[in-house]
Structure 1
Amino acid sequence: MSSKLFLGHRLRRLRRDHQMSQTDMALSLAISPSYLNHLERNQRPVTAALLLKLAEQYEVDVRSFAANGGSAKTGPDALAEIFSDVLLSDLGVPRYELVELANNAPAVADAIARLYTALKEAARNPEIANAGDVRSVVTPENWVRDYIQQHRNHYPDLEAAAETLGGALSDPLSMSEPMRRRLKEAWGIAARVVPQAELGNVSQLYDADRRQFLISSQLRPENRTFALAYQLALIEFADVLDKIVAEAAPPDEGVRQLLHMSLANYAAGAIMMPYGRFLASAEQYRYSIDRLCGEYGANVEQVAHRLTTLNRPGARGVPFFMLRVDPAGNISKRYAGENFPFSRFGGTCPRWNLHTAFQTAGQAVTQLIETPDGHRYFTVSRTIDRPIKTELGASLLAIGLGCDIRHAHKLSCADVYDLEKAPVTPVGPACAICPRIDCAYRATPPAGRMLAVDRTKKTISPFPFVS
Structure 2
Amino acid sequence: MDAAEKKLFLGGRLKRLRRDLGLTQTAMAVDLGVSPSYLNHVERNQRAVSAQLLLRLAETYDVDLRALGRDGAADEAQIREALADPVLAGLDVPRHEIVQLIDDQPALAEALLRLFRAHDARRTAQATLGQDAVEGPADWVREHVQGRRNHFPELDALGETLAADLEAEAPGEPFESRARARLKGRHDLTVRTVPAEVMVEWTRRFDPHRKRLLLTETLGPSSRAFAVAYQLALTEHGPELEAMVAAAAPPDEGAGRLLKTALTNALAAAMLMPYGAFHALAEATGYDLGRLQARFGVSYEQAAHRLTTLSRPGARGVPFFLMRVDQAGNVSKRYAADAFPFARFGGSCARWRLFSAFRTPGRVVTQIVETPDGGRWFTMARTVDRQGHDGFGEGQDLAIGLGCELRHAPRLAAARGLDLAAPQVTPIGPACRLCPRHPCAERAAPPLDRPLAVDDWAKSVSPYPFRGG
TM-score of Structure 1 vs Structure 2, range by shorter chain? 0.7 to 0.9
Residue matched to 1:404: 405
Give the partner amino acid of 2:363: Q
Give the direction of change, closer, same or farther, for the CA distance of 1:433–1:16 in structure 2 (3 Å limit).
Answer: farther
Give the partner amino acid of 1:463: P
1:243 Cα offset (Å)? 1.6
Aligned with 1:67 (options 73, 79, 103):
73
Residue matched to 2:104: none
Mapped to 1, the partners of 2:196 and 2:300 lie a distance apart of 24
1:161 Cα offset (Å)? 0.9
Residue matched to 2:114: 110
Q: Does 1:465 align with 2:467?
A: yes
Contact 2:310/2:337 (<8 A) preserved: no
Mapped to 1, the partners of 2:192 and 2:39 lie a distance apart of 62
Give the direction of change, closer, same or farther, for the CA distance of 1:344–1:426 in structure 2 (3 Å limit).
Answer: closer
Contact 2:385/2:395 (<8 A) preserved: no
Give the direction of change, closer, same or farther, for the CA distance of 1:286–1:38 in structure 2 (3 Å limit).
Answer: closer
Give the direction of change, closer, same or farther, for the CA distance of 1:269–1:94 in structure 2 (3 Å limit).
Answer: farther
Task: Tell me the alpha carbon deviations over residues 422-446 of structure 1, each in whole angstroms, 9 at most, x when there is no partner.
Answer: 2111223333443433333333444
Q: Does 1:177 align with 2:177?
A: yes
1:336 Cα offset (Å)? 2.0
Q: What TM-score, normalized to structure 2?
A: 0.79
1:138 Cα offset (Å)? 3.5
Give the partner amino acid of 2:73: A
Unaligned runs of 5+ in 2: 102-107
3-state DSSP of counterpart to 2:348: coil
3-state DSSP of counterpart to 2:323: strand
Contact 1:341/1:429 (<8 A) preserved: no
Give the partner amino acid of 2:75: G
1:447 Cα offset (Å)? 4.3
Give the partner amino acid of 1:404: E
Contact 1:363/1:382 (<8 A) preserved: yes
* % same residue: 40
Give the partner amino acid of 2:150: N
3-state DSSP of counterpart to 2:298: coil
Give the partner amino acid of 1:425: T
Matched residues, number: 441
Residue matched to 1:370: 370
Task: Tell me the alpha carbon deviations over residues 393-416 of structure 1, each in whole angstroms, 9 at most, x when there is no partner.
Answer: 565200011111222111111112
1:219 Cα offset (Å)? 1.1
Mapped to 1, the partners of 2:434 and 2:57 lie a distance apart of 32
Q: How does 1:428-467 map to 2 (within 5 A)?
A: 428-461=429-462, 462-466=464-468
Mapped to 2, the partners of 1:202 and 1:267 lie a distance apart of 21
Mapped to 2, the partners of 1:190 and 1:387 lie a distance apart of 22
1:20 Cα offset (Å)? 7.4
Residue matched to 1:161: 158
3-state DSSP of counterpart to 2:339: coil
3-state DSSP of counterpart to 1:210: coil
Residue matched to 1:86: none
Residue matched to 1:332: 332
Give the direction of change, closer, same or farther, for the CA distance of 1:454–1:30 in structure 2 (3 Å limit).
Answer: farther
Residue matched to 1:389: 389
1:377 Cα offset (Å)? 1.6
1:172 Cα offset (Å)? 4.8
Contact 2:325/2:331 (<8 A) preserved: yes
Contact 1:343/1:430 (<8 A) preserved: no
Q: Does 1:141 align with 2:138?
A: yes
1:167 Cα offset (Å)? 2.3
Give the direction of change, closer, same or farther, for the CA distance of 1:448–1:196 in structure 2 (3 Å limit).
Answer: same
1:64 Cα offset (Å)? 4.7
1:348 Cα offset (Å)? 2.7
Mapped to 2, the partners of 1:434 and 1:10 lie a distance apart of 35
Give the direction of change, closer, same or farther, for the CA distance of 1:120–1:348 in structure 2 (3 Å limit).
Answer: closer
Mapped to 1, the partners of 2:37 and 2:378 lie a distance apart of 38
3-state DSSP of counterpart to 1:265: helix
Unaligned runs of 5+ in 1: 41-45, 84-88, 130-136
3-state DSSP of counterpart to 1:160: helix
Contact 1:382/1:399 (<8 A) preserved: yes
Mapped to 2, the partners of 1:246 and 1:54 lie a distance apart of 34
Give the partner amino acid of 1:406: R
User: After the TM superposition, which of the residue ranges 291-300 and 166-175 deviates more from structure 2?
Assistant: 166-175
1:457 Cα offset (Å)? 2.5
Give the direction of change, closer, same or farther, for the CA distance of 1:114–1:194 in structure 2 (3 Å limit).
Answer: same
Mapped to 1, the partners of 2:387 and 2:181 lie a distance apart of 23
Task: Tell me the alpha carbon deviations over residues 297-351 of structure 1, each in whole angstroms, 9 at most, x when there is no partner.
Answer: 1000000001111111111111110000000000000012322321448443221
Give the direction of change, closer, same or farther, for the CA distance of 1:306–1:457 in structure 2 (3 Å limit).
Answer: same
Give the direction of change, closer, same or farther, for the CA distance of 1:75–1:358 in structure 2 (3 Å limit).
Answer: farther
3-state DSSP of counterpart to 1:69: helix
RMSD: 4.2
